[in-house]
Structure 1
Amino acid sequence: MALEINGKTIELTETGYLVDLNDWDQEVAQQLATEDGIGELTEQHWDVLNYLREEYINNNGNQPMERAILKAMAEKWDNKKLSSKDLYNLFPRAPSKQGLKIAGLPATNRKGGY
């Protein structure tokens, strides 16, 4: 599988994840989101995606579970009443899985999401 963006071919795995995380940029993320049925990425989407990338790149390949994502976004958005439903509204196929895909990171092998 592959994406064509601005004349550049971006290689994907059979499940639609980037082969090389260095191929990721905002245009790639938007194309992945569109193909995954999300549509236009909002500021909140970008907050989650950037958090996932920072955790993976700066913390030895850490792929946060949904509880950690929820806690980080509640702090970032100053919203103490944030629920997992809020994250699923952004990433309906699981923030810790669909979010990783759109963030250009490898698929997680762990089971469960919370």
Structure 2
Amino acid sequence: MALANLERDDHGYLKDLNEWNEDIARELAEEEGVNLTDDSFKLINFLRNEYINNNANQPNERNIVKGLKDNWKGKLKTKELYTLFPKGPAKQAGKIAGLPETKRKGGY
């Protein structure tokens, strides 16, 4: 199914995370002006796994780095996540991952 046929909220987030797939992610990324890489998908899949299998958890950047560090080439820093998702790894990657908009404020 194409992104144009999916129901979204006022901020462009998918209303049903189960309608998501990698093709939808690519369409959302194009809208966001983001070029997806293998590392981008590591983050996207991590966020989806956290949300789906960990009581709707939407980790902040600090916890994303902790969660991904063992599955990353080299030392992962928050800066690298912002290189992948300039508008914020938690929010922008979450949107591209088909997750609901996080209501969490910034900080640790």
When the two structures are superposed, what TM-score results if normalisation uses the length of structure 1? Answer: 0.87
- Number of residue pairs matched by the alignment: 107
RMSD, matched Cα? 1.5
Aligned to 2:102: 108
Q: Which one of 72, 76, 96 corresponds to residue 77 of structure 1? A: 72
Which gives a bigger RCO, structure 1 or 2 (Cα 8 Å, sep 6+)?
2
Unaligned 5+ segments in structure 1 are: none
Aligned residue runs from structure 1 range 3-14, under 5 A: 3-4=3-4, 9-14=5-10
Instruction: Report the residue type matching 1:21 in the other structure.
Output: L
Which digits, 9 at most, give the CA deviation of each residue in 1:27-54, with x for residues without a partner? 1000000000103x11000000000000
Aligned to 1:20: 16
Structure 1 stretches of 4+ with a deviation exceeding 2 A read none
Identity %: 53
Higher strand share: 1
Aligned to 2:92: 98
Q: Which has the larger radius of gyration?
A: 1
Query: Distance in 1 between the 2:96 and 2:60 partners?
Result: 16
Which digits, 9 at most, give the CA deviation of each residue in 1:39-73, with x for residues without a partner? 3x110000000000000000110001111111222
